[in-house]
Structure 1
């Protein structure tokens, strides 16, 4: 289908989606509808708001292409495409020019043979130029664009920050790696996207791993790392001299009274800090006195701030933040009024507004989603008050067939309050078979109020899903996070068991039909759950799971691990356990050394190209358990890494999970 026709078809779909709810189908939603790649992922307005950059695909060219829509007449121009790759990340350099990278969503991690590269092109398709290599040598569509000039090395990446967007220049990052593949530091280069020439790397005060641009698009802040200590530095605009603002422990955060967030349009530095309580809030930071403002700009009761400032070129408009779901608190009255109008048109979803930096049109980009509704993107015309569909991530998903997801809280055995996400199948009353789904990390936030393919798939098959935010999880305050230090297999594991018993006590779960499941750390917790609480869990499903903490330290001579030496030396001893001082604890909390205790049915899956949890975690455990447990299923996806990148892998894996659950805790 021609891209223009595609957008028109999507706009027609919007009239249906915005006007009334979809009718429920009698048939169960096919597994592929949950686990195929999203048909649409993102779009970005140009700085003026006159043009929209989108990914495009059609049957004639299955590769994702980069298209630009002229919003004055809805014409579409394909400006970037590869014969052997998809469009990866992209960004506007200015209102006329874009940069983009290459990726391949049809290759698993083990088959990837090139870096993303970097390319630039005008919005009308002219002045194409390759800027950085993809695989150590030039890959160009038009040889004349290269000339005698050398390309930037393959380890050149987009910075992820827009910059000023008022010239042909942007800042890119050069990642320097050791011979073993460990990231040493990141240099920042100012690059001319028209002629491909980059200036000398910005002078830095140490081994930088983070950079921040100011309101003028110039590098103003960096964070360096020396062993376990990170230092925040500020670069004075006039002298270009670096000045230390603070320092903190890289892995635990100790010693930090703030973390930088963004520079405002007036040059104000905004930071996050927990100086006034358990959770991190947003403050203005006085660069002259080195003090935080007395009152926070944003405080979210019960949640650490996670989000961004929303700005145009001359003012702070609002703050996007995450509590149970995403939301925007608008400072600008006009934007607040616009939000209310959009919410009235889309009353059943969270609706996030994105504005151009120098708006010359009435167009605003809207991202809408709910727990039962995958992400959709639309254009809102502030003059006409009308919405136009741009794209839907999973258009085959019928919201009326999806399950509601709620945030609940329970009390752990030591009195700590723990959040958890509960997804109940449609028509559920009480005593459902349940899957306790444990998030990975573990030092991350597990979930939010949004459509999630894994939980929704399980719920569509009749299973209740419980996802505890056990101690060690982030996003809910420092007390919950720090309570998880050195508690793998101990209190962290108890929290998961307490969540399970809470669900039984509330009548949500059938005590005789509960399965524990998870990936990475969640895989570790699955195995420890079967060991510690054999009467609580009827079966287990674990994929890419850690099976022994010492194996994380020692690795395997044949398989590469991306665990850095600094993480092993400074991070793991503080957060997980010291290999010498806590030797007895690590032995007692090793699933590998206790494999013979697991008698329940178990499904295991690993990726042959996994560098985070290399394959020996799985093969050694499987060898240890199969001698005493005949009910263990083993799957190896040879080319996959730490998680499943390919749709065919996800479809195959979750199909096996469905069969395994139906067999062991009963098809509802």
Structure 2
């Protein structure tokens, strides 16, 4: 690896590659195969220099088992004269400008110079572990250095030297990185020179510290986790202070966010951060100022009635540009009202059927890189010039899918108790003579949500000629406090009724065949799939549950065992699901494993052996209960995989098996 980083980078044209290659050509309306949907993207990332003058585009070419990663770097508007920098046979993850003069490139190695896989031997087995590094180069692709290049022992020992936690605009020669310090057995922060690669320790944590939040290169929050990582103690240190002050302990959800204290960004004002919070008087998650000096929440910076703010978009100097939330598509609240008109124009450019996400911006807020995706667009990078009011395509991630993806419709459904629901119906590109088979796909969380966007699973199912229905049932996130709370302790009934009401609406429209319905989901969606065939045994031909809970008492028992009855995590689950002391009957009624006798549909259960969010016992025990009751059930446990983020090969096997399972049952 050291040899590869030290080698000169070639600036030359690639055979068969041209700027015009990104232009979509005419394509027959043929649904994509699973191989095409899972094929690696050719456009991986894009970054805009702080002065807005240069753009870097990270691309990849694959032929069989061979891959070639390369950069295109150009002056904005002069895309015919690009510098093309060959990187080599590496998994290149992302690029980011550390300054106008240096570009950071994240590299991942799965094998060493000898061709052998990277990893460690353990207990007679070999655990593959990728090696991750960051390289810095000049805009012409020259003067490459590996960050931590002066730490030879660290380079030999550490697999992951790629955690850049702050790019400091006031110090354009350095970035701050986090690595494990073996001398002190703790995480540490290092100041790393992006011209020489030299690294110097700037801060060390305690044995329980798992990270920091920085403002202008200085740690101002420290996160110390319990052993399972489900609860986090936050300590603060305002500018000018030397000691850490404990602020509060928070529950961490499966998305790794802190409940009611998700720090979104720093601000240009020393000691002031932007935090997503749900205060008692708020109807939805808002963005507030948080003062490190007195540890108090301040004024509301962004609020959208009935919608949760999910993040913020800032410039290189922490200037707030916009706060984002989700309607059906991506929406923003802009600090500069004039930008709202430009954003409206950006959406119109794509026919108002895509999600235009602000991705990068120059310091003057004149040029933006946007990432654009939608049901019929797998994703692409575009550069918008505010002054010229012009869009320039930088590249699509998967151009071979253009014009071949299924469309999506937004459905407004009235639940049986009058609650307003939204669902999304993916419609295959192939014509149909009559009602189609339909797969119902409830999302996980449950306080997550689906939206109007590209969805791999939905597209894979729609490519079979099936409708795909994604309901945002009560208890989903994104719609504010009341909608989320409406799902508390209603896992086994009202949340399922919402799914059923959305299914009924599509069936009554005549578009879905009531004799060919299936239900598939992961995590909470897997639970909903199992509960669906309990409550409506004659509605679905089959159900697929990946990493789904099957017994609510078991869920609570494991949370209490692992976290303790007084833990934030256990109290959260009691609030969300029910209390075993007072809600025993409700919990039993909402547990598919306790009601297998009512199930008629065949089940396919899938679970990762290393899942620490939903224990694999949930699926194992469900499979045993089905077998004991003489009910058809297939169970697959995937060794070494967790709750999500599965390896590409395992993701492929899951989709292949799930599609095959559903197809057989539709034909039965």
Match of 2:85 among 77, 85, 89: 77
Q: Give the structure, 1 or 2, with the largest relative contact order (CA under 8 Å, sep 6 or more).
A: 1
Match of 1:126 among 120, 129, 143: 143
Q: How far apart are the structure 2 equivalents of 1:387 and 1:260?
A: 32
Q: How far apart are the structure 2 equivalents of 1:3 and 1:535?
A: 63
Q: How far apart are the structure 2 equivalents of 1:643 and 1:247?
A: 26
- 5+ unaligned residues in a row in structure 1: which ranges? 132-143, 178-183, 557-561
Q: How far apart are the structure 2 equivalents of 1:366 and 1:593?
A: 49
Q: Secondary structure at the match of 1:42?
A: strand
* Residue 537 of structure 1 pairs with residue 540 of structure 2: yes
1:98 is matched with which residue? 104
Q: How far apart are the structure 2 equivalents of 1:159 and 1:567?
A: 30
Q: How far apart are the structure 2 equivalents of 1:574 and 1:438?
A: 21
Q: Secondary structure at the match of 2:596?
A: helix
* Residue 392 of structure 1 pairs with residue 407 of structure 2: no
* Residue 523 of structure 1 pairs with residue 526 of structure 2: yes
Q: Secondary structure at the match of 1:618?
A: helix
CA positional deviation for 1:450: 0.8
- Shift in CA distance, 55/588, structure 1 to aligned 2, threshold 3 Å: same
1:201 is matched with which residue? 203
- Shift in CA distance, 68/636, structure 1 to aligned 2, threshold 3 Å: same
Alignment of 1:186-585 (within 5 A): 188-192=189-193, 194-201=196-203, 211-214=212-215, 216-223=216-223, 233-242=235-244, 259-267=262-270, 268-275=272-279, 276-285=281-290, 296-313=300-317, 315-332=319-336, 335=339, 339=343, 342-343=346-347, 345-348=349-352, 349-358=354-363, 364-380=368-384, 387-399=391-403, 401-413=405-417, 415-426=418-429, 431-443=435-447, 445-549=448-552, 551-552=554-555, 569-577=570-578, 585=586
CA positional deviation for 1:75: 0.8
> Does the 8 Å contact 2:370/2:383 carry over to 1?
yes
- Shift in CA distance, 430/468, structure 1 to aligned 2, threshold 3 Å: farther
> Does the 8 Å contact 1:89/1:102 carry over to 2?
no
Q: How far apart are the structure 1 equivalents of 2:48 and 2:558?
A: 46
1:657 is matched with which residue? 658
Q: TM-score, normalised by structure 2?
A: 0.78
* Residue 35 of structure 1 pairs with residue 38 of structure 2: yes
CA positional deviation for 1:619: 3.8
Q: TM-score, normalised by structure 1?
A: 0.78
Q: How far apart are the structure 2 equivalents of 1:7 and 1:304?
A: 48
- Shift in CA distance, 598/163, structure 1 to aligned 2, threshold 3 Å: farther
- Which deviations, in whole Å up to 9, do the C-alpha atoms of 1:320-346 show, x marking residues without a partner? 433221134444477556546645644
Q: How far apart are the structure 2 equivalents of 1:203 and 1:401?
A: 48
- Which deviations, in whole Å up to 9, do the C-alpha atoms of 1:60-102 show, x marking residues without a partner? 98346363524363112235x5x6x623355443341425252
- Shift in CA distance, 234/606, structure 1 to aligned 2, threshold 3 Å: closer
Q: How far apart are the structure 1 equivalents of 2:381 and 2:15?
A: 12
Q: Secondary structure at the match of 2:438?
A: strand
> Does the 8 Å contact 2:593/2:622 carry over to 1?
yes
Q: Secondary structure at the match of 1:494?
A: helix
- Shift in CA distance, 355/621, structure 1 to aligned 2, threshold 3 Å: closer
Q: How far apart are the structure 1 equivalents of 2:286 and 2:602?
A: 45
- Which deviations, in whole Å up to 9, do the C-alpha atoms of 1:40-66 show, x marking residues without a partner? 332222334424152433439834636
Match of 2:93 among 78, 88, 106: 88
CA positional deviation for 1:507: 4.4
> Does the 8 Å contact 1:339/1:353 carry over to 2?
no
> Does the 8 Å contact 1:14/1:388 carry over to 2?
no
- Which deviations, in whole Å up to 9, do the C-alpha atoms of 1:86-133 show, x marking residues without a partner? 23355443341425252659999x9852255433332335353363xx
Q: How far apart are the structure 2 equivalents of 1:492 and 1:422?
A: 19
- Which deviations, in whole Å up to 9, do the C-alpha atoms of 1:353-390 show, x marking residues without a partner? 44445469x86423222222111113345676654433
Q: How far apart are the structure 2 equivalents of 1:156 and 1:432?
A: 50
Q: Secondary structure at the match of 1:513?
A: strand
Q: Secondary structure at the match of 2:264?
A: strand
- Shift in CA distance, 330/478, structure 1 to aligned 2, threshold 3 Å: closer
> Does the 8 Å contact 2:253/2:259 carry over to 1?
no
2:175 is matched with which residue? 170
Q: Secondary structure at the match of 1:536?
A: coil
- Shift in CA distance, 126/176, structure 1 to aligned 2, threshold 3 Å: closer
- Shift in CA distance, 339/403, structure 1 to aligned 2, threshold 3 Å: closer
- Which deviations, in whole Å up to 9, do the C-alpha atoms of 1:537-590 show, x marking residues without a partner? 23212223333345556779xxxxx97676765544443455666555544433
Match of 2:128 among 113, 118, 128: 113
Measured on the aligned residues, the alpha-carbon RMSD in Å equals: 4.5
> Does the 8 Å contact 1:410/1:502 carry over to 2?
no
> Does the 8 Å contact 1:208/1:224 carry over to 2?
yes
> Does the 8 Å contact 1:412/1:418 carry over to 2?
no
CA positional deviation for 1:437: 0.6
Q: How far apart are the structure 2 equivalents of 1:55 and 1:640?
A: 28
> Does the 8 Å contact 2:210/2:224 carry over to 1?
yes
Q: How far apart are the structure 2 equivalents of 1:407 and 1:302?
A: 19
Q: How far apart are the structure 2 equivalents of 1:340 and 1:6?
A: 37
Greater Cα shift, 477-486 or 116-125: 116-125
